[in-house]
Amino acid sequence: MLLAVVVGGVWLGQERIIALFVQEANRYLITPVKVGRMQVSLLDQFPRVSITLHELRVSGSLPQDTVPLARARRLYFAFDAWDMLRGHYRIRAVTLTDGQVQVSHDQQGRANYDVIRYDTTATAASQPFAFALENIRLERVRAVYDDQQRQQRYTVQVHDVKAQLDVEDMLVGVRAQGSTRVEALQLGPDAYFRNKDLALTTRLQIDRAARLVTIEPSVLNVGKAAYSVAGRVDYRQATTLGLRMEGRQTDAQSVLALLPARLASRLSAYRSRGDLYFGGTVRGELSAKASPRIDVSFGCRDASFYHPEFRQAVEHVFLSGSFSNGAARAAHTSVLSLRDVRGTLQGRPFSGNVRYVNFQNPTLSLDLRADLDVGRAQRFYPLAAVRAASGTARLQLQFVGNLRQFRAQPASAAVRSSGVLALHGVQLQLRDFRQPFTGLNGNFVLRRNDVAINGFSGKIGNSDFRLNGFFRNALGWLLLPRQQLLLDADLKAQLLDFDQLLRMHQPAGPSRATVAKPAAPSTPAAGSYGLRISPQLALDVRTDVQRVRFRRFRGQRLTGTIRLRNQLLSAAPLSIMAAGGQASFRGTLDARRPQLLRLSSTISCQQLPLDSLFYAFEDFGQRFITARHLRGSLTARAESDLYFDGALNPLTDRMEAEVNLTVRNGELNNFQPLQKLSMIAGRERLRHLRFAQLTTPVYIQSRTVYLPEMEIRSNVRAASLIRVTGTHTFDQQMDYHVSIPILPGLLQRTAGMGSGPSLLLAIQGDEDNFRVTYDRRSSVARPASSLPPARRPATAAEPPKPVAPVENTTPPAPRKAFELKKPEKKPAQPQTGEYFDF
């Protein structure tokens, strides 16, 4: 009967109850509230009776607000059934579910939550409907605090929080407990506590008259760690803080949760054991014009840090640290200090001290000592650029100086720096390099901004090296962006294998989740050659290399100086012994455009065996005249402009060269076209054609080799003087013209015939399909198709001077080495029966 009476009363009196609730709410609310529908229910908050508001929307107090102060799917106001029987309705509890609360301050510091009217004239006891809250519950509510003036934004997802209120006039006591998830606490550009689950237990005393919040010891749990907070917040005018904080049972994970992602991302997976402590105070005004005084102390005692996957641990770690924003409570008086840092990594000790003063114009004091197993250090803290490492290193480093002055003038800043790095048996496998670095040994001594290199030796694949000299501006290059590093050193090596060195770089492959895309035409394929020169690298290297290897090429005693400035690599000159002869090189490589490398050079050689030269250079990419056909010694000088793409493939359409060569004691053996001239000499004699000396220029332009008229005096009596001219394209299309005297030279002179009649022949076609025919053209000595290009200006033949550093990074337009204008070629039109087809 009692239940029936209550249900009937609710059903009959719900309109009156809702009307009273709306009337009372309007007495307290300043801003409009929109509600989808309202109902009185006995079941929603049983055993209490509740007024349920569906699809609630509360506007903020700022006129320009477009985002509501609060919105919720359901809001329950509960009161006791006995209140309904007495006719005095007292709201005892509030439950908010599936909603969002957006609290904000605009640029002028005005709040959007001034929506409640406190100065009511009627007393609660005289009203039939009033608020007498005893508890508040939030379920699945997203709360956002956005302060545009201070550039702060806090975002919290409340899972389930219960709060109890004790209200005595203007004093409100709050006890709250529950679980929340902090999406982010954004302070300026940094976000703290990102995506962390927290457990909250707090007690607050709010004096609305004095505008004072007293925080009794409250606990915030992050995992196993507990952070206690206590103190006062005075908000009568500017907010004034007096808070104490302390961490208990903290570990690495909970401490890292306090840091922004940019600082904690690389360390977030690490765990710790041992005693870690944290504590501090925040005192003073917090406003747009002032900041409170912050003093924090932290550290650890006999702790260990480890990564669950890498199975390496730093043990017996001791550390004392502190942070303070100083007397001025600003960045320029802030100090961060780490004192008496010490520990071991797999039994090898490290220690140091760090002090960072004045965050606006910082001065750094650093003292570091470490004895490291490189492999274990790499496994404890992996570097993305290093795949594997081993060996030992010993480091001592001291640095004291102003970082702003150092950034402005690294070479002359008033800093004190010194240190020694000693490597022993270090091996490195880098991510972007195919060949490993092995057997690295040597000492590096820091002297102010430079590093002296003492006996640094090792191997890169098959190549070895030993360096002595200096890394100029090493500290600036290491610590500052866009700084140039100069290697000024002597290089000695037993072997440089350029077939490996030019294939060293291999870009990191795509991840498994990445869909492979076809490479651009200018991108070097895997396994191709490549040359990449950093704009921050400069060289002054004196070389002394015993052996050089590249494909078939074998060289000895490479000596000379290599200079690099602003991606312009020059050599003046380099000399090398190869194939039983001597060669020298001087020139400049312009690498400012990685996909269009330009090499301007002068090369000379003396007494190089022709067969060895053709073999070493793989017959220069053709099969018409190969190493097995040639004998003799070559002396030559070549000036050229060569262009290459990013994979060091020659761009032959841009290639230009002028070669002056002399061949002595030459032989042309088993050359198939000569076998077709058996009517002038025996096949056996033609199989071994010998000549004492041949001197001629050769020109290369537009993918064509131009051969001016040259005379060959051979051992064949019937053809003792042979004249040859013609062209040979890079597509292996030949057009040679040969003049062979019909009468022997002595008979011509006896008959007074001068040069005498000659047999004119043309060799045309490609390497695999050519023919020798009678040439009817009247001027076979200089046919139009074989006219050489104009010579270079006299200055082009001079050795190139070392290239001075330049500021302009735009490469000059390609210079035409030759200006060649050939008349239109009109091939001969022989009549049937008027030529010989051999």
Tell me, what's the pLDDT at 649? 86
Residue 633 pLDDT exceeds 70: yes
752: which 2 tokens?
């007074």
Tell me, what's the pLDDT at 661? 85
Number of neighbouring beta carbons within 10 Å of residue 335: 15
Question: Residue 108, CB half-sphere, CA atoms under 13 Å: how many?
Answer: 4
Give the tens place of pLDDT for each residue, 84-125.
656 666 777 888 889 898 888 888 878 887 777 655 455 555
What 8-state DSSP symbol labels residue 111? B
Q: Look up residue 807 and give its amino acid.
A: E
Give the tens place of pLDDT for each residue, 523-542.
444 457 888 888 999 999 99
Q: For residues 540 and 607, is the Cβ–Cβ distance under 8 A?
A: no
Q: For residues 61 and 114, is the Cβ–Cβ distance under 8 A?
A: yes
Q: Alpha-carbon distance 386 to 676, whole Å?
A: 63
Residue 833: phi and psi, rounded to 5, are: 90, -5
Q: Alpha-carbon distance 763 to 783, whole Å?
A: 13
Question: E strands of 742-799, at which residues?
Answer: 758-766, 770-774
Name the pLDDT band for 719 (thresholds 50, 70, 90): low
Q: For residues 660 and 797, is the Cβ–Cβ distance under 8 A?
A: no
Residue at token pair 């140091």: 352
Domain spans of the chain?
586-797
Residue 619 pLDDT exceeds 70: no
User: Following DSSP, what letter does each residue of 418-435 receive, concatenated?
Assistant: EEEEEEEEEEEEETTBSS
In the chain, count H helices and then E strands: 12, 37
Nearest to 605 by CA among 574, 631, 644: 574
Mean pLDDT, the chain, whole residue set: 78
Residue 27: phi and psi, rounded to 5, are: -70, -30
Least confident range of 374-383, 446-455, 520-529: 520-529
Q: Alpha-carbon distance 291 to 284, whole Å?
A: 7
What 8-state DSSP symbol labels residue 483? -
Tell me, what's the pLDDT at 45? 63
What is the pTM assigned to this prediction? 0.68
**The dihedral formed by the CA atoms of 748, 749, 750 and 756, expressed in degrees to the nearest 10:** 30
Non-local (6+) Cβ contacts of 66 within 8 A are none
Enumerate long-range contacts of 347-356, CB under 8 Å, 24 or more apart.
Answer: 348/372, 348/373
Residue 231 pLDDT exceeds 90: yes
More confident residue, 548 or 678: 548
Q: For residues 252 and 238, is the Cβ–Cβ distance under 8 A?
A: no
Number of neighbouring beta carbons within 10 Å of residue 3: 9
Least confident range of 141-145, 295-299, 382-386, 673-677: 673-677
Number of neighbouring beta carbons within 10 Å of residue 496: 23
Q: Alpha-carbon distance 490 to 484, whole Å?
A: 19
187: which 2 tokens?
């302070």
Give the tens place of pLDDT for each residue, 752-775.
444 567 778 888 888 778 787 887
Q: Alpha-carbon distance 784 to 744, whole Å?
A: 28
Q: Alpha-carbon distance 785 to 745, whole Å?
A: 29
Give the tens place of pLDDT for each residue, 150-171.
788 888 888 888 888 776 777 8
Give the tens place of pLDDT for each residue, 816-836.
433 333 334 444 444 333 333
